[in-house]
């Protein structure tokens, strides 16, 4: 069972797949703001930096 995480719906996430096929969610806010971890422990249920993806203007990664 996969537990939902806010990161999946955040405009600042980027999916990263390792060479072995493991999938990680990178927080792109971590580039500019050190308080956000680059790879936050999952699942994330609350985050001050969360901004919902704009479905109309989003592209799949």
pLDDT in tens, the chain (61 residues): 577 899 999 999 999 999 999 999 999 999 999 999 999 999 999 999 999 998 766 555 5
For residues 43 and 30, give the distance between their C-alpha atoms in angstroms, rounded to a whole number: 17
Q: How far apart are CA 45 and CA 59, in angstroms?
A: 23
User: Is residue 39 one of the residues assigned to a domain?
Assistant: yes
Residue with tokens 């936050």: 40
**Residue 57 forms part of a structural domain:** no
What pTM value is reported for the model?
Answer: 0.79
The reply to whether 58 falls in a domain is no
Domain count, the chain: 1
Containing domain of residue 11, as a range? 1-52
Residue 26, judged by CB atoms within 10 A of its CB (0-12, 13-18, 19+), counts as: middle
Q: Quick check: is 21 in a domain?
A: yes
- Whether residue 35 lies inside any domain: the answer is yes
Non-local CB neighbours of 14 within 8 Å, separated by 6+ positions: 25, 26, 28, 61
């Amino acid at each position: 069972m996969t537990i939902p995480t806010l990161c999946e719906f955040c405009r600042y996430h980027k999916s990263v797949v390792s060479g072995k096929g493991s999938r990680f969610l990178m927080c792109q806010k971590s580039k500019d703001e050190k308080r956000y971890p680059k790879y936050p422990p999952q699942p994330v249920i609350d985050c001050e930096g969360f901004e919902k993806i704009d479905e109309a203007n989003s592209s799949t990664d």
